[in-house]
Structure 1
């Protein structure tokens, strides 16, 4: 079946209103922290590469691309030299990329200057990796940005695509971005360059910041149950937000994308696997228990986990270490957003009254914020488990240094007695600093004496840590 050029031109004209001299409607004023990096790679790329925006459904990839288009138009780029096309559209998918480009140039003849191609859901382009490689190698006048909602987009063509695109991996909204999109008027908080800066603050300075952050805690809790998706952040009620998250994001990924992209047939088993993970968010994955509960074989369960990670719904953390011991050990699983589990299990705001569930949601949010902030530096994240079930929630390996993070989200203040795993890890690995993520705003400051170790440990309230990690102006320095 062939799609006529006139039909393609009609579709593309709807997606590209700037060809008619019209502005892009409904474009939000706020911009995600990733905008600056995307625009740099589109406008003045540091290397001859395309740029890939990779991330889950509905986290703002299309909006980011259209904001980049808007910025290019403001800079004076000829409108006809900019193309936006989404290959989620059945006719564009059927026609293919070459026919789309021919229709574009039939409608808008090229003028001098670079061409800018913004291609949404590029995983539906046939042999997309080979096409991108060819464009980067031989069409140097073209700047290409493309999106994908599945990790195979970056892995399936890994061999042919090495060095041909730069990946910007988007997570759901940070707490900082959530506050920006909500346009909330809150007391200003000081900026920090890195978390290390906090060790130089005096206790009175920490106290003053904690007092200023009082109004942030309630919004942080709502963020945990409402979710870090732009759509869910802006609807009126938490119930509506969770229904939207469950129906428009999770269900579409599990029931549509998994079939269309990966050919999954056992959708019900996949859903049950995901539900199991929602019930064990932030915990060590017990594969025999999962297989027994769901009555699936281990290879099937393993395949489901890989698909859920490919669709950006989960993260898997290995234990600290290297070699065969790690391969045989259990992984820790975090959901992509703290609000996913409450939404799937129809819990509403109930987790706010459940200390254990609130602690798990906070740990999930903390991991996501640390991952998003330090992912561009190729930081390796793991968890540590020692003797007598001693454990450290997160360990970041940054430039050869180990930096542990322990989440203690509870009413009591945190002392050395509650940090046996952290103390043991710091002693074994001669670690000089670590962080404990706390609940109370006055549970904030240095724990000065850890037995048998010279490490300094900073207690940081979760709302503040997530705010600072998400703040767009925070440097991507060391933790």
Structure 2
């Protein structure tokens, strides 16, 4: 906000309870510490019934009646801006005609972006926030753990020696238990800091079911069939990380396809799910099935009242890990025009994630299992690497011993095994020098 690359507003977009308000207040604190006069910084939340009723112009007028303006630009920090009437038109007008104002606003729902897409083009820069990474989770809990080496990029691992892998394997042992707790507790700052996992999951469930599905959906989208929407979300929680079978969903929930399709788009708009398209372009993608990931691995066990039971269920633990790995990759690379998809071959062999970076394909296969992962379990990865002549790929494993280069998997392809706790730690801890995966 102090040195904008272009004259635009800033939109912080993300799910409820992930820290958007905290970021705005931290921004206000930084501005004040940097010498900006307090009279020129306004924070207002339009979740408040009186501010919502009054409207943005009345709020600014009341502010200026109380606080005469000082020299320099005004900074407006507007929380829950989706409740501002005709917010898109207002922001457009401010950006076009009030060069003395710098605006940051938040929204828990993507209609914020979609509703006024045309008028908003070039008027605001969107920063999409995800839940805490594993690295951030460890930081917020202030855990003292052995220090791990930092990576600029996962590509650095291909230059490591055998002794480097061995040293990291030894140091990473204490991280595994915390990683499993992270999968159950989740990456929401509030629940991450609650001592009781049962209490953390109850808070998460109330925020998602009660506030998003029952309140936001009604207030922002006019959803009337809240129970059907809730059932749709529960169905997706039971099929997290899987291909979406619309026929099965509609038959099970007794809803029509357009209704189910609308519900899924709304759940994506409120940042509760991600949809992953199949690899390819054109008609093939339009006709194919999407893969659904929840916004955080802890959502499914919290909503399904499973507690820590997923840690004893190998299949559920594998799904939670794949969800966490996708979220970490998405959070790190989405702003750098990295396209994510999944791949399916002619023999129904699959690759969980494929990142397209500057014309290069980089596959990720998640095999979070006790057994050692070899070529037999990676037929999809081998087929994809051979058909597309891919130079390198990654297999996300469970055991810390499963760290290092795989030999002889596919000719001309280097495949690196990386244990999931290390993968998620490095994805959250690394700097962002550029889109090198």
TM-score between both structures, scaled by the size of structure 2: 0.99
SS in 2 for 1:284: coil
Residues in 2 aligned to 1:211 and 1:113: alpha-carbon distance in whole angstroms: 54
Residues in 2 aligned to 1:412 and 1:199: alpha-carbon distance in whole angstroms: 24
Q: Which residue of 2 aligns with 1:315?
A: 274
SS in 1 for 2:174: helix
Matches within 5 A, 1:39-438: 42-438=1-397
Q: Which residue of 2 aligns with 1:17?
A: none
Deviation string 1:392-413 (CA, Å, 9 cap, x unpaired) is 0000111111110000001112
SS in 2 for 1:387: coil
CA contact (8 A) 1:192 1:474 kept: no
Q: Which residue of 2 aligns with 1:440?
A: 399
Deviation string 1:415-443 (CA, Å, 9 cap, x unpaired) is 11111100000111111000000001110
Q: 2:422 aligns with which of 464, 469, 478?
A: 464
Residues in 2 aligned to 1:70 and 1:180: alpha-carbon distance in whole angstroms: 21
Q: CA deviation at 1:450?
A: 2.1
Residues in 1 aligned to 2:100 and 2:135: alpha-carbon distance in whole angstroms: 37
Moved over 4 A (4+): none
Q: CA deviation at 1:477?
A: 3.3
| Structure 2 stretches lacking a partner, 5+ long | none
The number of aligned residues is 437
Deviation string 1:360-407 (CA, Å, 9 cap, x unpaired) is 000000000000000111211110011222000000111111110000
SS in 1 for 2:192: helix
CA contact (8 A) 1:213 1:464 kept: yes
Q: Which residue of 2 aligns with 1:4?
A: none
| Structure 1 stretches lacking a partner, 5+ long | 1-41
Residues in 2 aligned to 1:441 and 1:250: alpha-carbon distance in whole angstroms: 36
Deviation string 1:444-469 (CA, Å, 9 cap, x unpaired) is 01112124x31100000000010010
Greater mean deviation of Cα atoms: 267-276 or 378-387 = 378-387
CA contact (8 A) 1:58 1:249 kept: no
Q: Would you say 1:473 and 2:431 are equivalent positions?
A: yes
Residues in 2 aligned to 1:203 and 1:323: alpha-carbon distance in whole angstroms: 44
Q: CA deviation at 1:476?
A: 4.3
Q: CA deviation at 1:474?
A: 4.9
Q: RMSD over aligned Cα, in angstroms? A: 0.9
Q: Which residue of 2 aligns with 1:14?
A: none
Q: CA deviation at 1:348?
A: 0.4
CA contact (8 A) 2:342 2:353 kept: yes
Residues in 1 aligned to 2:181 and 2:432: alpha-carbon distance in whole angstroms: 23
Residues in 1 aligned to 2:430 and 2:155: alpha-carbon distance in whole angstroms: 18
CA contact (8 A) 1:242 1:343 kept: yes
CA contact (8 A) 1:444 1:461 kept: yes
SS in 2 for 1:450: strand
